[in-house]
Amino acid sequence: MNHEPVYIVDGARTPFLKARNRPGPFAASDLATAAGRSLLLRQPFAPTDVDEVILGCAAPSPDEVNIGRVAALRMGCGHKVPAWTVMRNCASGMQAIDSAIAQIRAGRSNLVLAGGVDALSRAPLLFSDAMVHWLASWYAAKSTGQRAALLVKFRPQHLAPIIGLMKGLTDPIVGLLMGQTAENLAFRFGITRAEMDECAAESHRRVLAAQREGHFAREIVPLYDHAGRLYAADDGVREDSTPENLAKLKPFFDRKYGNVTAGNSSQVTDGGTWLVIASERAVEKHRLVPRARIVDTQWAGLDPAQMGLGPVHAATPILQRHGLALNDLDAWEINEAFAAQVIACQRAWASDEYCRTELGLPGALGSIDPSKLNVDGGAIALGHPVGASGARIVLHVLETLERTGGRRGMAAICIGGGLGGATMVERMTQ
């Protein structure tokens, strides 16, 4: 096995922009291009020096087929740089990073631009099968009489749209919305509504504090739309997201018995993230100054109805391989798909039964120190542009290590379909 070191040289992202029940100002390719251009402009190499571009995207629009290639050409990487798109639901951006590692260790590339993007506000509205069949018959009709007969068969309910985003957030195997899987975890681990709302409020508090302190300044690339409006910061965070106000919201996924609400769930959001991934050879050739070494990555599978525990199943093998305890790491980023899901991960690691039966361990691993976990808040306040989130948490765990002087950090994410992904990085201290 090739264990050649692989480095993170730099990274950048767009502001994460909350969807407001209408298409946002930027398509996914716009977001990827804007973040990538700014990132490449500050590098000592030309965009055409990149060996490969890999972009994760869960929901590209029909006019962004192979969005990785679209973004690469728009960023000025040139015709000769191959570019491709990967999709692993919520971890598409992390998959792009892992694919870059694989390409480098296989000797096929030395310098890769890898990241993720999604513009969920632009998720399509779809026709029902009944409407599609009716339209097909209409276009096949050859006479006025045939069309008249079809008009008689038409029903207004044929026009009822199917919300593409809701279809995408529904597991096709177990038939559950992602929020319903969070309800499963809340029931399994006895997580109360008050605990969920407190976790959500804390996410907003931490993001607000991080914004005031400028903790996102280095990673965010400001955007301008066609009207000249500036988007310089993540706009989903709310000062009024207190436990008291969140408690007023009604359950969304299980309206009768549930506790998962829009307020203690991640937001529907648009955003993009890129990282520059390099081999030792690329570092020497271009005189790069790496910010971190990628120590290890792991993917895991679990019950789709319990998908929120994916970070536990992916991060634990990494800890075992390197002989580390949870709090031997200096920073953790666990993507906040739902407050219940993040709390459940902590409960699972602290459970003797779960660690023995599900992870094959002799006993509980304990809990992550809250001062090390999502120190600047998470997706509940920032939003979860599905394709971008896995790359964002890798970038931000590095940002946190650099700011705090920490050495090692873990980014972990749950993935729809019953998967988990994790990436461990080590800050360069030269």
| Among 302, 304, 310, 292, residue whose Cα is nearest residue 412 | 310
Distance (Å, whole) CA 295 – CA 394: 12
CA separation for the pair 371, 395 (Å, rounded)? 18
DSSP string, 203-223: HHHHHHHHHHHTTTTTTBPPE
Find, among 372, 261, 288, 381, the residue nearest to 49 by Cα: 288
Distance CA 15, CA 232 (A): 6
Matching residue, tokens 């000062």:
239
Both tokens assigned to 391: 């790359």
384 catalytic? Reply is yes
Choice among 90, 199, 345, 355 that is catalytic: 90
Across 40-157, the runs of DSSP E, i.e. the strands, are 52-56, 83-86, 111-119, 125-126
Residues forming beta bridges with residue 220, ordered by sequence position: 13
* 345 flagged as catalytic: no
User: Which amino acid type is present at position 281?
Assistant: R
Distance separating alpha carbons of residues 377 and 266, to the nearest angstrom: 11
Active-site position among 57, 77, 345, 414: 414
Confirm if 90 and 58 have CB atoms less than 8 A apart. Answer: yes
Cβ-count burial 5-44 (b if 16+ within 10 Å, e if not): ebbbbbbbbbbbbbbeeeebbbbbbbbbbbbbbbbbeebe
Determine whether 193 is exposed, middle or buried from the number of CB atoms within 10 Å of its CB (0-12, 13-18, 19+).
Answer: buried
Catalytic position from the list 204, 215, 313, 384: 384
Q: How far apart are CA 58 and CA 69, in angstroms?
A: 15
CB hemisphere CA count around 91 (13 angstroms): 30
Tokens of 351: 């459970």
Residues with active-site annotation? 90, 384, 414
